[in-house]
Amino acid sequence: MADLFDLPFEEDDSDARSNPPEPPAARRQVFSVTHLTIRIRDLLEEQIGQVWVEGELSNCRVWNTGHLYFTLKDEQSQLRGFMFKSALRYLRFKPVDGTCVVARGRLSVYEPKGEYQLVCEHLEPQGLGALQLAFDQLKKQLQAEGLFDESRKRPLPALPRKIGIVTSLEGAAIRDIIKVLRRRYANAHLVICPARVQGADAAPEIARGLRQIGRVPGVDVVIVGRGGGSIEDLWAFNEEMVARAICRVPVPVISAVGHETDVTIADFVADVRAPTPSAAAELVVSRKDEFCGRIDRLHDRLRSAARGRIQTLSRRVHVAGSRPAFAAFPARLAMRGRHAADLTHVLARALRNGLAARARRLQVLERQLATFDAGRRLGGLRARLVAAETRLNATINRQHDRAAARMRTVLGRLESLSPLAVLGRGYAVAWNADRTRILRDATSVAEGDRVRVTLASGELDCEVRSTTE
């Protein structure tokens, strides 16, 4: 039993026995639970007040009221914590279990449960900076949603009609962009939606700007960005609302934030990332340069292809003219002089008409181009195009003339095969008296009939003395 007496319980018991008798009930100070709890609360709130405390987050839970409940713990102890929705909004990272944090807050007591807790005003992650953590978290989330996927990236328009820009009117970025565009694409049409790009209002303003600019008719590419600064200065471009606004712009978006080395969430979701605002302007314009080169090359090819076609066709006419069928023509012409003459004439007319029609069409095209060019003067770019077109037309025309000349040569040969030419070689054509019919058959005339004979030079009026079959 002696052991039992050594136990604290027994000791308390013996203490109680050795203590002086309790004061009478009337002199006792009896607290209600609430009263005592309030005293404890006052004591904690006054004595400890605002504190900084470090530990690991666990049991993090945002209730549907929007407030955050969590437990802060280390190896031996735990502390309940609570954070109002209003304070939670300012956190730049998402509090999740396992994060080591430093919390600032006030100790308070939750009377209904008799529990004390830390009413947290601010949380920041230990080690990794809050911004870095926030960046990593958002990046991971958006990536998981597929917002960085290559398949989402839209190509920039070949030649932007209107270039939308969301940035501050006060910053260096807008001046850089305008300067570059003026230099490389003088007649660029810009629509600028001013937005603060720094501070607490920046993210909502940029997001609004992106929404608005996407609705402007004709805007077919958007640059969003700002000049260089600290990570805090650039922070708006790491905000979720800006990232989502970029994704929702109906036309391609170029992000242009800070310097080459600054990478923001906006860069990941944008269709194209430009290292700087000037580079963004160059990206838009270089597309145009690319196109001019392409048009030039197309003109070259169009010209030489058309030239090739015409050469081939001319050659064919040439070859046709020297075929055996044509070579044997003279003999047959002797028999069918008139027919050949007719044929020659028809062929020649058809060829001439065809050529003339085409020549007229080329002339019309040239005139159209001429009136088109007569207007405003253009920069070097357009001048290049005009030069290419003029060259193209001149070449086509020259080739056409050459083709026409070759056809004339062929026609000349056909002419040389005409009855008159044949007559020059000693043949003669015999006609009936009124010269309406060529005589091909001796039986078609009778003794005493008159016939006419055409020679190379002059005609004979003859009388048939006899016929032989």
**How far is 434 from 446, CA to CA, in rounded Å?**
15
DSSP 438: B
DSSP 260: T
Contact between 464 and another protein per CB under 8 A: no
User: By CB under 8 A, which span of 145-153, 269-277, 340-348, 379-387 interacts with another protein?
Assistant: 379-387
Applying CB under 8 A, which of residues 259, 335, 372, 398 lies at the interface with another protein?
A: 372
The DSSP result for 331-370, as a single string, is HHHHHSHHHHHHHHHHHHHHHHHHHHHHHHHHHHHHHHHH
Q: How many CB atoms lie within 10 A of CB 439?
A: 16
Applying CB under 8 A, which of residues 88, 100, 369, 451 lies at the interface with another protein?
A: 369
Mark residues 79-108: x for contact with another protein by CB under 8 A, - for none.
Answer: ------------------------------
Hey, what long-range contacts does 306-309 have (CB within 8 A, 24 or more apart)? 306/392, 306/396, 306/399, 307/395, 307/396, 307/399
Contact between 353 and another protein per CB under 8 A: no
Applying CB under 8 A, which of residues 66, 308, 412, 424 lies at the interface with another protein?
A: 308
SS (H, E, C) 66-134: CCEEEEEECCCCEEEEEECHHHHCCCCCCCCCCCEEEEEEEEEEEHHHCEEEEEEEEEEECCCCHHHHH
The residues in 161-220 that bind another protein, with binding defined as CB under 8 A, are: 161-162, 169, 174-175, 178-179, 182, 185-194, 208-209, 212-213, 215-216
Nearer to another protein, 186 or 200 (CB): 186
In three-state secondary structure terms, 120 is strand
Q: How far is the CB of 292 from another protein (least distance, A)?
A: 8
Q: How far is the CB of 378 from another protein (least distance, A)?
A: 7
Applying CB under 8 A, which of residues 96, 158, 327, 394 lies at the interface with another protein?
A: 158
Contact between 358 and another protein per CB under 8 A: yes
Contact between 157 and another protein per CB under 8 A: yes
Contact between 378 and another protein per CB under 8 A: yes
Contact between 131 and another protein per CB under 8 A: no
Mark residues 385-424: x for contact with another protein by CB under 8 A, - for none.
Answer: xx--x--xx--x----------------------------
The phi, psi pair for 153, rounded to 5°, reads -70, 125
Give the closest residue to 185 by CA, choosing from 115, 287, 259: 287
**How far is 282 from 276, CA to CA, in rounded Å?**
10
Contact between 223 and another protein per CB under 8 A: no
The Cβ-side half-sphere exposure at 239, using a 13 Å CA radius, reads 23
DSSP 442: G
Footprint on this chain of another protein (rule: CB under 8 A): 157-162, 169, 174-175, 178-179, 182, 185-194, 208-209, 212-213, 215-216, 291, 294-295, 298-299, 301-302, 305-306, 308-310, 313, 358, 361-362, 365, 368-369, 372, 376, 378, 381-382, 385-386, 389, 392-393, 396
